[in-house]
A and B are shown apart, each in its own frame.
Chain A
């Protein structure tokens, strides 16, 4: 096993990286002052990865929307029962989640770490699907999809993604639709499993109170390696302009919810992509964050309230600069934000404000190492983005004012869309 210790002087922190012969990357950060241990076993596979091929010569295959999430639900079931029952024996709290570009299985425990780790490694590597269990799950996930249909915050975001993206899979709900999941069967699940749950496409990340050598011995005993499989995805072909620049619908909300987005092509190289995200994050803060004159003015004019916030919404194959919140007049906010962008393009950014935003970002990163869950998650996320956690700190530290100003030209009206959820008119 290839074992390295990664260190960062700035933070005075270190962790262990092991690349197992199976291709699995293992990241271990012992934090002996904490009472808990948090372990994540994840695959670089999420809802956007529904079109792929494993043979470079073949055509791309498209699978039903929501299959990655469906697979996550089903992996919790083995021939002998539910994976939760394995963790019930140890007292660990287990869970799983599927995002746009990853699926992770996790547990947090204060005792019985070794048996919990065994349980995690065992159930994730033991797929068991039958037609009968798949059908039952279609009912349960159908309920979950319905729950999100009633969530205005979720709907305003997906309405924006549908307005922005022509055929990018990010615009489809992570759980799919009732219709799409009806097309899923056991064979399709096995096919996805054997493609994406190959250890070379996976990361195991552990932080907290544990002995790394003991953990490595258990991991070694419980891995089921398979021949690494290359996976190919179609190239980014998203047109520059949105499908529509405005979308709205009515729901039971008290005041209009909005989400404004700028569609930006993601940088291809991993470090460049992360850098792009940090630059945009700082730009968001300087343009419209709580330290900006814009935020203060919008608040004073009553166009936004303190729920206004921004996000660099990014993952494999997509990046959108988002600004959202509640407003009686989302169109006025849109106009004002565009005017603000134009003003900053003409006048430039204030170096003192830039330094303040950079300090705040450094603080957020240190703060992010405040608990075991964050550390394990940050190590895994960085690795799946193609870098290491400490690289992310250094990339953020190296961003300059000029880098941030350069990103301004990506926030233009022709790549923008506005999504609004209006209160239902009660007649």
Chain B
């Protein structure tokens, strides 16, 4: 590798600040990412706390006053996300605002964003050490509603159910929204305790993406975060394995017209595996593009499904195939999908298939730096994987993958779980 793609400096104990200069954007995106172990005991609190933190700060204690503050900053966008990264959890707060050069009155928007984002994490609205009752109640209900609403989007729901079944008791199988019974049992005081625990133990990654000068923002983060007395724990390594035993199956019935069929495969191919690039190519040839084998054969030629796509989760070495099928063609679709995978394993794909897939994957990697959020997420992924590859580095590695390696990667997959969401029996 010819150069460090980003500049990451420590600000305090297990607190790092990374800047990714990107002159093409008219905005600066700041993100604070708390990296934590994923456990059944803490997930619900970790899901609820960011929803409270994104609603205001001690200086802007109501959602209305906080929203007005963002409005004055030319419609700055603040929010939170919770994502699973293998067997770890990442709780993020982010704020995106116009670059100072577009401020009509010469406001220092990047510095103001840094202060506001620090306040969101460090100075929430507290009364007697507990979160504000009303904000807590609103966001607690919102989260409970969101858990119930998971069934609204059947495609995503089916995929999630498959993933839960596949991972079983592993941390990665936990729901990132948390669990209703635990969320119901929380109080404004216990949620604030979770917030303190998160601040105390998380590894903290702060990432800036944009054209603005990061130095003043970095200083603000350093001044605010370095004095924190913290006790960061050791983050567990994600467990990546092939699994064993018979194929797990699950089924749910709803009042739907189209069925969703999801297949989950395990492998030992993780972020640092030498086979990762081959597995990415394998996924693209099989079901990652509109000229992939699944799309062309199972959808176009056999008309067995409306969509049929493959995705690979490198953090756990899992390949997921999901499809929307006619309820009475489920078995045919499943057989057709498995047959396409068998062909991959036997090397039954053309040089053209491989070239097309490669061009498409290279295009995807080279497009990674086209939006601030995707750029930030990409480099956070690199940091968490313990790698430091630019999209261009990835492309060079993908270009070297051979057909034999692709077939070999396909051979490393073991069908683990089949999940079907279909219509109710008449």
Q: Mark B59-70, 1 if CB is under 8 A from A, else 0.
A: 000111001101
Shortest distance between the CB of A322 and any CB in chain B (Å): 19
Give the nearest-CB partner of A152 in chain B: B152
Contact yes or no, B71 A359, CB < 8 A: yes
Q: Report the minimal beta-carbon distance from B370 to chain A, rounded to whole angstroms.
A: 5
The yes or no answer to B291 lying at the interface (CB within 8 A) is yes
- Is B372 interfacial (CB 8 A cutoff)? yes
Contact A362/B74 with A111-B366, A254-B145, A290-B63 known, Cβ cut-off 8 Å: yes
Q: Which residue of A lies closest to B97 (CB)?
A: A363
Whether the Cβ atoms of B24 and A363 lie closer than 8 Å is no
Complex contact B370–A371 (CB within 8 A)? yes
Q: Are A290 and B67 in contact (CB under 8 A)?
A: yes
Q: Which residues of B sit under 8 angstroms from A153, Cβ to Cβ?
A: 152
Contact assessment for A147 and B303 in the assembled complex, using a CB-CB cutoff below 8 Å:
no
Looking at chain A's contact residues, the main secondary structure is mixed
A31 at the interface (CB under 8 A from B): yes
Q: How far is the CB of B55 from chain A (nearest CB, A)?
A: 8
Q: How far is the CA of A252 from the CA of B73 in the complex (A)?
A: 40
The residue on B at minimum CB distance from A372 is B370
A185 within 8 A of B: no
Do residues A84 and B291 form an inter-chain contact, with CB atoms below 8 A? Answer: yes
- Chain B CB within 10 Å — which of A85, A360, A372 has the most? A360
Segment among A91-99, A217-225, A339-347 that sits at the interface with chain B: A91-99
Out of A110, A111, A146, A362, name the residue touching B257 (CB < 8 Å). Answer: A146
CA distance A185 to B93 in the complex (A): 53
C-beta contact mask, B17-38 vs A, less than 8 Å → 1, else 0?
Answer: 0000001111100000000000
**A292 at the binding interface (Cβ < 8 Å):** yes
- Min Cβ gap B70→A in Å is 8
In the assembled complex, which residues on chain B have CB atoms less than 8 Å from the CB atom of A363?
Answer: 73-76, 97-98
Identity of the chain B residue whose Cβ is nearest the Cβ of A356 in the assembled complex: B71
Q: Is the CB of B371 within 8 A of A370?
A: yes
Interface residues of B in 342-398 (CB under 8 A from A): 356, 358-360, 362-364, 366-367, 369-372
B142 touches A305 (CB 8 A): yes
Tell me, in angstroms, the Cα distance from A369 to B99 when the chains sit together: 12
**B275 smallest CB distance to A (angstroms):** 23
Q: Closest residue of chain B to A33, judged by CB?
A: B24
Interface flag for A306 (CB, 8 Å) = yes
- Segment with Cβ contacts to B, from A44-52, A157-165, A226-234, A293-301: A293-301
Instruction: Determine whether the beta carbon of B152 is less than 8 Å from that of A110.
Output: no
Tell whether, in the assembled complex, residue B148 and residue A255 are in contact, meaning their CB atoms are under 8 Å apart.
Answer: yes
A355 to chain B, nearest CB (A): 9
| Distance, CA A361 to CA B74, complexed state (A) | 7
- Assuming A94-B290, A367-B26, A367-B98, is B306 touching A110 (CB within 8 A)? no
In the assembled complex, which residues on chain A have CB atoms less than 8 Å from the CB atom of B369? Answer: 35
> Could you tell me which residues of chain B, from 147 to 192, have a CB within 8 Å of some CB in chain A?
148-154
> Complex: how many Å from CA A372 to CA B370?
8
Given the known inter-chain contacts A147-B258, A367-B26, please indicate yes or no for A356 contacting B371, CB distance below 8 A.
no
How many angstroms between the C-alpha atoms of A33 and B22 in the bound complex?
A: 9
A394 at the interface (CB under 8 A from B): no
Q: How far is the CA of A307 from the CA of B151 in the complex (A)?
A: 16
Asked if A290 meets B141 with Cβ closer than 8 Å, knowing A88-B356, A147-B324, the reply is: no
Contact between B360 and A91 (Cβ–Cβ < 8 Å)?
A: yes
Q: Which A204-257 residues have a C-beta within 8 angstroms of B?
A: 251-255, 257
Whether A254 touches B72, Cβ cut-off 8 Å, given contacts A110-B362, A146-B257, A296-B64, is no
Known: A143-B326, A147-B306. A305 touches B152 (CB 8 A): no
**How far is B260's CA from A151's CA once the two chains are assembled, in angstroms?**
13
Is the beta-carbon distance between A371 and B75 smaller than 8 angstroms?
no
List B contacts of A151 (CB < 8 A).
153
Contacts of B371 in A (CB 8 A): 370-371
- Among the interface residues A88, A140, A255, A366, which one has the most CB atoms of the partner chain B within 10 A? A88
| Nearest 7 interchain pairs by C-beta | A91-B359, A363-B74, A360-B75, A254-B148, A363-B75, A33-B24, A110-B366
* B binding-site residues for A, Cβ under 8 Å: 23-27, 62-64, 67-68, 70-76, 96-98, 102, 104, 134, 137-139, 141-142, 145, 148-154, 254-258, 289-291, 299-300, 303, 305-306, 324, 326, 356, 358-360, 362-364, 366-367, 369-372
Apart from A299-B63, A300-B134, 13 more pairs, CB < 8 Å = A82-B291, A91-B360, A140-B299, A144-B306, A254-B148, A290-B63, A291-B67, A293-B64, A296-B63, A357-B71, A363-B76, A370-B27, A372-B370
